Structure 1
């Protein structure tokens, strides 16, 4: 009612949970194809009917005059197929990913009782993502040790990778700086398998034990 335009970054949501722009009542919404198994470099911009945008890239009338230059036809077509497939399989995929996340949490907690599940609501969340905190251990150290085993996890968003600072999102959720620095995020996708959860859990528990052992050795 105040004439303020609202944009939402739905990159993490589109293709994973139901998204309806009419229900959300947003003016603009953006998404990235690679987040729902499309090609990198292709994005989606929703603009509510009647709203105008000024182009940032001039030189042609491509993309409704908003971005001059030859379009990536292959990327656009791939994005269309990818989102159709993701939406049609959403319920089935979400159920399987939730089970994988639950198994991961249960098995890690059985080995490391002090592990902290940082994510909030157990239902209103992305089905394949979980953020865990390991007391007394650097999330950065865990991430590097897992990387050596061919397992990719994260300590922050891709937008802030490379910065030696705790996640501002975790800090905003009320975590201390130390708690935020002890966190890693595990993200499963539709092509991950239940067997891979065993590999990931074993690798995390092994890396955690090694870090604790090294710390105890230095403390002596």
Structure 2
């Protein structure tokens, strides 16, 4: 039985942790052919699945696993949260059939690197029946300059690019009315029969949603 596999996927890693699309029954769904920006999450998983299978033909890891994930970002300043990057990656690995379920990952080490010319991730999977992991944390003899992080200043003003709420000002009555707009067809949604995504910022009417599948 095979107890080892390695996957390398080139390109800037992305995470879907901040994007949630649910139907009226509360089921999470990732569209892949809506023609919108959020299609990239599902397409990225499909890319991972295809590459993982091509790089490891006829391999199925059935036991509990140790995972070593090295993520190489293009930029040190602008990239997804590394703590969230594992979800997209392991969902893609599971879809490839290389593993049975991502619940098999019982131990994981994630390391962040930067490679402007060749962003990618490298994942190694080790079966626990044959491999074990050891690690240590040692104090440096020479202390480096710390890489500091600062709070992000959030813009509390509503962005003009928000397509979900169309504010129409009635100059005669001096009132503001809100309309729900479908993110795909840009038509007004007049009923409550629609799906929400991205924390309620994105709305999709039922007609457009059905076309996705």
**TM-score scaled by length of structure 1:** 0.18
Give the helix-richer structure, 1 or 2.
1
Looking at both structures, which has the greater relative contact order when contacts are Cα pairs under 8 Å and sequence separation is at least 6? 2
Give the strand-richer structure, 1 or 2.
2
**TM-score scaled by length of structure 2:** 0.18
The structure number with the bigger radius of gyration is 2
